[in-house]
Amino acid sequence: LRKTPVLHEEGGPYVISSYWDIKNLLHDPRISSDAANLAAAGDDELSEPEQTGLPPSFIRLDPPEHDRLRRIANSSFGPPHRPTRIDSMRGELGQIVTGLIDGFGDTRQIDLVDQFAYPFPVTVICRLLGVPREDEPRFRAWVDPIVAGLDPDTRTGADSVFKQTAQDARMQLGMYLAGLVEERTKEPREDMLSDLVTSHGPDGAMTTMEVLATSVLLLIAGHETTVNLITNGMLTLLRHPEYLHRLREDPGLSVRIVEELLRYEPPVQLVPQRTCIADITVRGVTIPKGSRIWLVLAAGNRDPERFEDPDRFDPDRGDIQHLGLGSGIHSCFGAPLARLEAQIALSELARRLDNPRLVEDPPPYRQNAVLRGPRHLNIA
Ligand code: HEM
């Protein structure tokens, strides 16, 4: 990739791997995220369309629709004029983390994926949206097959039973959320779902279908990504124990550690859902209108033209302007939450785990070209 910053094979996507090219293209209005443009450009192996039966969520829309929906969602997530919903969740996130770590008990070995990183973000999204506590187990039971259904490991082969389970779970989750939206429309509370259906900003509120599409988007975009940031993070810290020790002494270091992790070991390795809606020239190569384009964030993050000694994990480096959360209008909507979740999780794990060590290195990985992270991370 490094030798060919614009890589293309007949019939395939244009694969872009240098930092500045990726950044420029993420800000270029001639690059579309629209699901319809993507479908018109034809299939490739990484872009299975979302089959939710819902309208496209804003990650798969271009302006002006993207901007309208994102603004409404944002007015609930982090309005500039009051402490954001995310800041106010700090204490609650700490409690969820403590509860999960307490659950390890006295066992000699834990799987950080199953016992910690996986359940954490679902619980957080439930609290954010305003799912009643007593419904959280039901909610999680629907989310499990949906998330697993997105995983190529479980999706491949003749596993149609699995696909069916995922489809059923989507239906049930959709119906459950629709009921909750109806309740919140009649009787708003202090939660994000209520804000979405009662928003009084210049863009008005979302329709019920838009709220459902947005809720499912938050759930899916914020799940596996957060799981991987935490597990990639713990793996990297265990391989660089000096930072684990420093983090134990100084939880504030988690801010720089998480930024460097998003550069060094980004959960989202590449963005495959883009189409050119005009001819674009990158480094002398003309990418014709209608072509699919893959932006390899992970390669941009290790571009030696942009970062000094890019393959070294160094939270003390002066400049960590990574691409791990994307850039431009589609840059990660959940970024403040993702950062806070990872900072709290890693600093608490560093504080509470007594002399942790990896049981196997490298751990087994998920077979997924877009999302990188271990399937299990056994720690003794
Ligand atoms: C978009 C990464 C966590 C919600 C993105 C994009 C990246 C990303 C790279 C850009 C995609 C593109 O350009 O097409 C990550 C990583 C996370 C994380 C590495 C965790 C560590 C979250 C969380 C949420 C979330 C916790 C929600 C609660 C979204 C949404 C978008 C997005 C809604 C679409 C934004 C738009 O289209 O305007 N994320 N994300 N993400 N992320 Fe995240």
Nearest CA to ligand 1 atom 30: 333
Give the atom of ligand 1 at the shortest distance from the alpha carbon of 229: 21
Residue whose C-alpha is closest to residue 269's, from 232, 244, 307: 232
Local mean pLDDT, 10-residue blocks, the chain (380 residues): 87 95 98 91 64 83 96 77 77 96 94 95 92 89 76 53 74 90 92 86 87 90 93 98 97 98 97 95 96 97 96 94 97 95 98 96 92 95
Pocket flag, ligand 1, residue 294 (CB < 6 Å)? no
Pocket flag, ligand 1, residue 58 (CB < 6 Å)? yes
Pocket flag, ligand 1, residue 377 (CB < 6 Å)? no
ipTM of the complex: 0.98
Ligand 1: residue of 126, 333, 337, 368 to mutate (most ligand atoms within 8 A of CB) is: 333
CA distance 311 to 264: 7
Contact predicate 337/124, CB 8 Å? yes
Give the atom of ligand 1 at the shortest distance from the alpha carbon of 59: 37
The DSSP secondary-structure symbol of 330 reads: G
Looking up tokens 């890693």 gives: 346
Q: Which CATH class is domain 6-379?
A: mainly alpha
Tokens found for residue 83: 């402490």
Give me the pLDDT at residue 155, please. Answer: 47
Pocket flag, ligand 1, residue 225 (CB < 6 Å)? yes
Q: Where are the domains of the chain?
A: 6-379
Pocket flag, ligand 1, residue 59 (CB < 6 Å)? yes
Give me the pLDDT at residue 202, please. Answer: 86
CA distance 30 to 275: 8
CA distance 99 to 343: 16
Strand ranges of the sheet holding 14-16, from the earlier edge strand across to the other edge: 6-8, 14-16, 292-295, 271-276, 31-32
Q: Is 275 helix (H, G, I), strand (E, B) or coil?
A: strand
The DSSP secondary-structure symbol of 49 reads: P
Pocket flag, ligand 1, residue 233 (CB < 6 Å)? no
Ligand 1: residue of 34, 74, 332, 344 to mutate (most ligand atoms within 8 A of CB) is: 332
Neighbouring C-alpha atoms within 13 Å toward the C-beta of 2: 8
Pocket flag, ligand 1, residue 299 (CB < 6 Å)? no
In this structure, what are the phi and psi dihedrals at residue 301, rounded to the nearest 5 degrees?
A: -65, -20
DSSP one-letter string for 133-162: GGGHHHHHHHHHHHHHHT-HHHHSTT-HHH
CA distance 108 to 370: 33
Pocket flag, ligand 1, residue 325 (CB < 6 Å)? yes
Pocket flag, ligand 1, residue 339 (CB < 6 Å)? no
Pocket flag, ligand 1, residue 337 (CB < 6 Å)? yes
- In whole angstroms, how far apart are CA 148 and each of 97, 142, 243, 272, 340? 23, 10, 32, 20, 25
Give me the pLDDT at residue 157, please. Answer: 45
Residue 79, preceding bond cis, omega within 30 degrees? no
Pocket flag, ligand 1, residue 220 (CB < 6 Å)? no
CA distance 322 to 302: 9
Pocket flag, ligand 1, residue 244 (CB < 6 Å)? no
- Write 78-84 long-range contacts (CB < 8 A, 24+): 78/336, 84/336
Give me the pLDDT at residue 279, please. Answer: 97
Nearest CA to ligand 1 atom 37: 59
How many other C-beta atoms are found inside a 10 Å radius of the C-beta of residue 367?
11
What separation in Å is there between the alpha carbon of 272 and the centre of ligand 1? 14
What separation in Å is there between the alpha carbon of 228 and the centre of ligand 1? 13
Give me the pLDDT at residue 156, please. Answer: 47
Give me the pLDDT at residue 158, please. Answer: 46
Contact predicate 247/22, CB 8 Å? no
The DSSP secondary-structure symbol of 363 reads: P
Pocket flag, ligand 1, residue 5 (CB < 6 Å)? no
DSSP one-letter string for 278-319: S-EEETTEEE-TT-EEEE-HHHHHT-TTTSSSTTS--TT-S-
